[in-house]
Each structure stands twice: as structure tokens, then as C-alpha cells.
Amino acid sequence: MKRIILTLVVLSLISIVPLFSLSATDLNFADGNWAVIGDRLYQSNLKSGMARVDIPAPQAGMMVYEFNVRYEDGAEDTHAGFGIHLFVDKPAKGKAWGNGKSYLLWLNYDENAKGITKGLSAQIYKSLSNSKMDLIADIDLNQYAYLLTEDVLDMVIPVKMVVNGFNGDVKIYDPTDATYVYKFNLGNKEPLTGQFISLRTNSMGISFGM
């Protein structure tokens, strides 16, 4: 169902971790209604604002994350979001605002948002603990809101991210044009390492796959 390609620059070694071939017993379902069905991982609780699943995945150095997402249900109240925690040291045991020490890359739609851009936006958070996260960046994506049509929502959307754990550089590939990337920096002062990634959703049904 999911994999991470771990590129260790110093050793010029590429290791493929087939996370989505893990059984449900290998995953930590912290909050929400999660289920492995076929080759996809589903979250179906539309009321959960902090649904999260933790996936074992040692991370260090140069990382490539590849998976896909598909809208399943919800967001009728014009509020929904999903994202991924990277470089998680120790996940929270249950429902939590933060998630250990990690970075959260978040895609959000909220017409009544407070403290961040209203409408379609993306945020980068630094999780300091299970209860505290700092907002690093808030990115206005409303120029792409016209793409949120029923036809597009029915599509499987590929996600590819390249993260340099040494210096914090991040590249996210445009799902409509693989030659175009969005770039930003996490602002870390020391090399990043982690033992888990965590998928997270807010008020929507969504599925993840390879």
C-alpha cells in the first residue's frame, strides 16, 4: 500500500521500504476509523478532526516519499484537510494535536479558517510535542481552488516529495506536471531523523495507496 524510498547519499545506497504491504497489525491507529481494504488504506470517520495512523519507517538523510490519495467522502461543511507527519521520533499514543517531534505537511480547505489562509491552503508545522506545534509557513493555494470539481475529486492523485534531512530542503512534485516542483525549507538546525511517518486527516473520508 505504501513505500518510502530511502536514499542514503553518503553511501549512495537506495533502500525500498514497502510500507503499504504491511498488515493492519503493523500500523498504529491513533484516532479515526482506519481500515486496510485491498491495496488501499481508508479513513472513514467524517467527524474526527485529528484522525491519525502511524507507520514504522526509519528516516535519515535524503528521503523520497511516494504515494497517492483519493477523496472518499465528507467536506460538505467546507472544511477538510489531510497531511503527513515526517521524521516522527515517538508518535502520540492516541488523539493529539502534535505528534512527538516531527514536521507536518498539511493541505487544508476551510472557508472560515482562523489564523491561516481562508479557502484552499497548505501549512508546514513543526511539532515540538504531542500538544504543541509551531506554524512555520502558511501558503495560499486559492488560485488552484477551481480544480476542486467532482471529476477531480474522483481521481487518484499522485504525491511525490523529496526531503533532504540534512539541510531541510523539500521538493513537492506537481501532480499535474512531474517536471514542476514546489520548493521550501523546514528550517531545521540539525540533521533530521525519525522512526515513523504518520498520515493524518481532518473531517473527511480519504484513502491512501501506492
Quickly state the pLDDT bin for 3 (edges 50, 70, 90): very low
Question: With helix as H, strand as E and coil as C, how does 28-62 read?
Answer: EEEECCEEEECCEEEECCCCCCCEEEEEEEEEECE
User: What is the CATH classification number for the domain harbouring 108?
Assistant: 2.60.120.560
pLDDT tens digit sequence for 50-68: 999 999 999 999 999 999 9
Domain count, the chain: 1
Residue 96's closest CA among 135, 134, 131?
131
pLDDT-based confidence at residue 15 (cuts at 50, 70, 90): very low
Q: How many CA atoms does the CB half-sphere of 132 hold within 13 Å?
A: 2
The pLDDT score that the predictor gives to residue 20 is 54
Residue 4 clears pLDDT 50, i.e. is over it: no
Mean pLDDT of the chain: 88
pLDDT(101) > 70: yes
pTM of the model: 0.89
Q: For the ranges 5-9, 28-32, 190-194, which has the lowest average pLDDT?
A: 5-9
Question: What percentage of the chain reaches a pLDDT higher than 70?
Answer: 89
pLDDT band per the 50, 70, 90 thresholds, residue 18: very low
- The grid cell for 25 is 497489525
**Residue 6 pLDDT > 50:** no
Handedness of CA 7, 125, 54, 141 (dihedral sign): negative
The 10s digit of each residue's pLDDT in 137-191 is 999 999 988 888 888 888 999 999 999 999 999 999 999 888 999 999 999 999 9
What pLDDT score does 98 carry? 98
Per-residue confidence (pLDDT) for residue 151, from 0 to 100: 84
Q: Which domain holds residue 180?
A: 3-209
Instruction: State residue 8's pLDDT score.
Output: 25
Task: In whole angstroms, give the CA distance from residue 69 to residue 80.
Answer: 14
